[in-house]
């Protein structure tokens, strides 16, 4: 499975989306409630608009029919880089509208697009080999999402805490948060580089052996291996009956 075209690359990309989301939410909710003294509802309201953009971005799956997943993923990662840089410079109480809001608007929507099209691409890669692998592929993809968030947030908060200890302002200062965002930026750049270098668009996906066997037995029957419709079965039966009586 790991030797399928682009499978390892896409599994690596799957480490990023939840890592980015969890890091952003953790840092800003702690800042707004723990340092600025906001109520929980106030912090939640500042994420509502961005939640709507994420929902809208989740409906972009049809783009994969017209645009290569490589460019969709790279486009999402490029804007995540811009968003993360904006957050690293959001050091003042009044930085929400000029820095944080546009960063969340860009970043959260593009992370959703990256996640959506990584999901589509990794299943396309596996289904081209065999439809029996979909359960395993789904488990690997979701495992990578969770692994990225668990390890990533631990690393990011460790960086933030370490820098805070050396900062004169402590939690009131922005050095720790900025360091966590620069660390996150480095991870995004590495992920982007591995997609640019290792994602291959010229790979022709292998044909499903079951489809070849199906074609050899029944001829050109327009049924996919995942489709079990009445029309397909009737067409197969006609071809089979014709062969039995010498008609085909």
- Write the pLDDT tens digit of every residue in 177-191: 999 999 999 999 999
Same domain, residue pair 70 and 172: yes
Greatest distance between any 2 Cα atoms in the chain: 90
Same structural domain, 113 and 64: yes
Q: Say if residue 106 is in the same domain as residue 173.
A: yes
Kindly state whether residue 87 falls inside one of the protein's structural domains: yes
User: Is the same domain home to 215 and 190?
Assistant: no
In sequence order, which residues have a C-beta less than 8 Å from that of residue 237 and are 6 or more positions away?
none
Structure tokens at 136: 């395993």
Tell me, yes or no, whether 42 lies in a domain: yes
Say whether pLDDT at 219 is over 60. Answer: no
Residue 104 lies inside a defined structural domain of this protein: yes
* In-domain check, residue 68: yes
Give how many domains the chain has, as a whole number. 2
Both 144 and 233 in one domain: the answer is no
Residues 40 and 62 occupy one common structural domain: yes
Contacts of 223 (CB under 8 A, 6+ apart): 214, 229, 232, 235, 236
The rounded Cα 68 to chain-centroid distance in angstroms is 15
Is 204 inside any structural domain? no
Could you tell me if 44 and 122 lie in one domain?
yes
In a domain, 187, yes or no: yes
Instruction: Please check whether residues 86 and 193 belong to one and the same domain.
Output: yes
Q: What is the CATH number of the domain that holds 192?
A: 1.20.1250.20
Both 185 and 213 in one domain: the answer is no
- Is residue 121 scored above 60 in pLDDT? yes
Domain of residue 223 covers 209-244
Is position 1 within any domain?
no
| pLDDT at position 216 | 55
At 131-182, the pLDDT tens digits run 678 888 999 999 999 999 999 999 999 999 999 888 877 667 789 999 999 9
Rounded CA-CA distance 181/132 in Å is 40
Look at residue 88 and tell me if it is in a domain. Answer: yes
């Amino acid at each position: 499975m790991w030797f399928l075209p682009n499978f390892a690359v896409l599994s690596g990309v799957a480490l990023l989306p939840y890592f980015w989301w969890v890091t952003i939410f953790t840092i800003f909710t702690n800042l707004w409630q723990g340092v600025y003294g906001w109520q929980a509802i106030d912090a939640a309201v500042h994420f509502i608009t961005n939640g709507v953009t994420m929902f809208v971005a989740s409906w972009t799956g049809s783009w994969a029919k017209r645009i290569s997943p490589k460019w969709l993923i790279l486009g999402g990662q490029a804007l995540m880089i811009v968003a993360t840089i904006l957050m690293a410079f959001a050091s003042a109480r009044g930085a929400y509208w000029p820095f944080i809001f546009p960063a969340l608007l860009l970043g959260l929507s593009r992370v959703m697009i990256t996640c959506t099209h990584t999901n589509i691409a990794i299943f396309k890669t596996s289904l081209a080999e065999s439809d029996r692998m979909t359960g395993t592929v789904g488990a690997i993809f979701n495992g990578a999402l969770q692994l990225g968030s668990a390890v990533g947030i631990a690393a990011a908060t460790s960086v933030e805490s370490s820098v805070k200890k050396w900062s004169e302002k402590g939690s009131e200062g922005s050095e720790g948060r900025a360091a966590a965002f620069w660390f996150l930026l480095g991870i995004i750049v590495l992920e982007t580089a591995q997609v640019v270098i290792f994602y291959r668009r010229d790979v022709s996906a292998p044909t499903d052996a079951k489809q070849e066997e199906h074609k050899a037995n029944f001829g050109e029957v327009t049924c996919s291996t995942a489709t079990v419709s009445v029309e397909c079965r009737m067409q197969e039966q006609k071809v089979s009956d014709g062969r039995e009586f010498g008609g085909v």
